[in-house]
Structure 1
């Protein structure tokens, strides 16, 4: 007996045929892969037959899954490498200007720098920055990057003019009209600077400080009347190297105290210079009889 469509089930009882038909129908509804009983490919291997609904997909598989791979077998994506950009460098060795002067003034406030401000990013400044960075767990580069600068800004206040120019270096004031002719030591109390001028041309400029409250430096027009290279004050017994006297005991001269303390101190009426090389060069050029103008 042969049943159409089931050539492999010859001689099977009708009940078995019915059971097989029901199984195939249920399996088709479930979308499973089955084979009819005893079906063979002639080589002794079972040959699965996929019986499923049109356009169906295996449960749990997304359209992008490759055949034969379950979601659990999909390898995790390789994490991307995160590259960190070094902080922007604000100031570094060799820089100069008002920004560096502010940095030095703020480092002085934080007690990491005891020299300056000079306006030049030197080795002392780099060492101070490195110490500040190390104390706060920042990379100790000695360079002032954006992170270091912002941290310093939060810890300090904006320095005033006195703090910025504690050791001198402020721009010189415009020369007094009386300084525009001849050979003149043109000294401004406002900017605390001395211009050495010849016929209206500025030859050199240097920072100076003046007398204290009770020993003020006199203002007016004077003349150099005596020069003394290794002078020592007979009144105060203090050294006054490169002294150029212009009014009584008042002179322009180099000051060790000014070099060490800046404007934290004052003179007994003299015009102090902190740059020894500059005042040495000035001493060599100035002659007795040259004019001195002290003005506000």
Structure 2
């Protein structure tokens, strides 16, 4: 009994220390405990037992097999497979080629947002729309015929089309952002607008925590800053960190820069443009307001 009390007290102390520590490492695209976790995936793809090969496995053919059984399998065996169409891009990809695709889709007015390089739901919907209009199978993925038709219907994107000054379109600022020095952060448009006395000075793309570790909403203040910081819980770098609510901070994320929105933070506001955030870090002062809203 005495030993159990010691263990409980020790766990309580450890929990308190963990809550007080700074966090915010990147999460994987699928969180632990998700219904789409790795162990379940193979069962969906494990099709040999249901495939036609069960009718005659290699080495299993025997003289006793009846002629009628072999005849029943002959029609399907005689059908020649259609040529494989090479896949070029698909949902989940993150590359410069995807950025070019998005710029071309914007030329066709099938996308309204600026290119990000990440192939997500909006890009999938735009590709499906193009395929439907052009007599292609509307899969939402870009195969060679789709890519060739998109290229033929558009011009090569310029540097400004590929990387416009603002990637996500910022919302109208929340009324609480209209006075003083404010990092105005919209969860809906996924943007951070640095504002001084109601005027937008700069904007940048951001992402947030997952459902299990959400970024808190409300009005806060920058409590402290650290140009070079590493999470004491997740041991991941948090450059240009500006803490506004406990362990939650605005900071640069290499993971966000690499994978886009195919992931999430542990509650922090991730910024993917390191150059823009570096300039913002130099301007923001401890005590400046932070507004996080939908």
User: TM-score of the superposition, structure 2-length normalised?
Assistant: 0.48
| Structure number with higher helix proportion | 2
Tell me which of the two structures has the higher relative contact order, counting C-alpha pairs closer than 8 angstroms and 6 or more residues apart: 2
User: TM-score of the superposition, structure 1-length normalised?
Assistant: 0.48
